Amino acid sequence: MNPLLAEGLTDAVGFVGGVLVAYGLGTLFGFDPMAAGYEGSAIGGILLAGLGGGVGLQVARRVRASRKKKED
């Protein structure tokens, strides 16, 4: 597989996975990023989704880097 394609796919999976985990935790704690308007719960949910996506992306990159070190 093309290394750039693999990098893009793992980044996308990590980002989406992080967003989904953050969305689930957010709704568990009462934050709803899909709520109408810009209430506090909507802003908190959007913030959590963004943070979760960033964390998921970083986790995917670290996992990819550790696997690359093992292969070398």
Per-residue pLDDT tens over the stretch 5-37: 999 999 999 999 999 999 999 999 999 988 888
- How far CA 63 is from CA of 4, 29, 46, 54, in Å, comes to 16, 29, 26, 14
Radius of gyration of the chain (CA): 15
Tens of pLDDT, residue by residue over 39-72, are 999 999 999 999 999 999 999 999 999 988 888 7
Find the domain containing 28 and state its range.
3-71
Contact 26, 49 (CB under 8 A): yes
pTM for the structure as a whole: 0.87
Report the alpha-carbon distance of residue 18 to residue 15 in Å, rounded.
Answer: 5
How many domains would you assign to the chain? 1
Contact 42, 65 (CB under 8 A): no
